[in-house]
Amino acid sequence: MKVRLQLNFLKVKKMKLLESTKVGNKTLKNSMVMAPMTRSRANSNGIVGDTTVLYYTQRVSAGLIISEAINISQQAIGSPLTPGIYTPEQIAAWKKVTQAVHEKGGIIYAQLWHTGRVGHSLVKNGKQPVAPSAIEIKEQQHFTMEGMKDYETPRALNTKEVINIVQDYKQAAVNAIEAGFDGVELHAAFGYLPNQFLAESANQRDDQYGGSNENRNRFVLEIMQEMIKAIGRDKVAIRLSPTSIYNNIIHQNPIEQFTSLINELNKLPLAYIHLMKVPFPIDKFPNYPVNTIETFGKLTQHTVIANCGYTKETGEAELEKGIAKLISYGSLFLANPDLPKRFELNTELNEPNRATMYGGKDEGYTDYPFLN
């Protein structure tokens, strides 16, 4: 009898992925997050349209939606047809998105973006990309409207410019709340400007923003502090990729560096920390931690969202460990707007069309089928 009762309990046990949880001051319907994904569907002025409204409202079954990366300023732009949140027209366009998401019971954060050296003058009206130091990205190319191009040597920001960019982030956070977003996430991962300040391979400054771990962490921490002052507690979050080597980001001692950073972030009233578990060639980087979530997730006092290549099974297993409280899905949510329902019913998944991920119109954007 006891055995039968135990088996019956196991059959009806709810997946952790489908359990309600909290982020900041919001209660989420499940523990599945739509990860931020650049889709390049804005117009040339960085304004999103009606199809973007539909794209996000199709995916309100996510406990939390994190928007595609949004440029905080004209200088921040690195890729063509990416949206901004620094003009009244851009803010008004995002209001339509957030209002529609909220009307359908969704919660949405804005991911704030400055690409730094990950850009090209062909995308920036002829202006040179900027970075902590004048060090270009090598052995990679960047997409422009004229095709793939080698990266250019960026212009090193002076100290006053760095301070001004911190204020640009603060204003972008204010604009995001005006646009109706429930909170903001700083994109400090994957080789973009905040990540460039964190890494010795991109940051060789000799002012207060370079040199020691404390100095290289300063830019990120000042941004977080200013955004919290501007929009309040439990509405500001951060995305980190301590083991990603994409865009020529190399850390000499990532465990020491990010331990120091997370210890400082623990002093701030954040909504969550979004950790990217990016694989890397272990033989070339023996000083890198093998498991990002276990190494760094244990250090934070904040809610952890785990990201990078999770399936239903591996996402559930990650939540069972108890470090991460939510799992974010990128291409799976792109191709399956009703992903939580598909996980619940254990149905087959749509395959993402990689040829239509960036740019274009409705194909590969709003035409993925729902379950009947």
Active-site residue set: 192
Q: Supply 295's token pair.
A: 């190494």
**Integer Cα distance of 210 and 219 in angstroms:** 9
**Integer Cα distance of 201 and 248 in angstroms:** 7
* Residue tagged 């969550």 (tokens): 272
Instruction: Report yes or no: 337 and 370 within 8 Å, Cβ to Cβ.
Output: yes
**Integer Cα distance of 84 and 317 in angstroms:** 36
**Integer Cα distance of 42 and 37 in angstroms:** 13
**Integer Cα distance of 300 and 307 in angstroms:** 16
Count of CB atoms situated within 10 Å of the CB of 188: 24
**Integer Cα distance of 37 and 347 in angstroms:** 24
* Dihedrals phi, psi of 302, to nearest 5 degrees: -100, 165
Helix (H) or strand (E) holding 177: helix 159-178
Three-class DSSP category at 210 = coil
Secondary structure (DSSP) of 44-71: TTS---HHHHHHHHTTTTSSEEEEEEEE
Residue 333 CA: distances (Å) to CA of 51, 64, 184, 330, 352: 16, 12, 20, 6, 9
Phi-psi region of 38 (alpha: psi -120 to 50; beta: other; left: phi over 0): beta
Instruction: Report yes or no: 273 and 236 within 8 Å, Cβ to Cβ.
Output: no
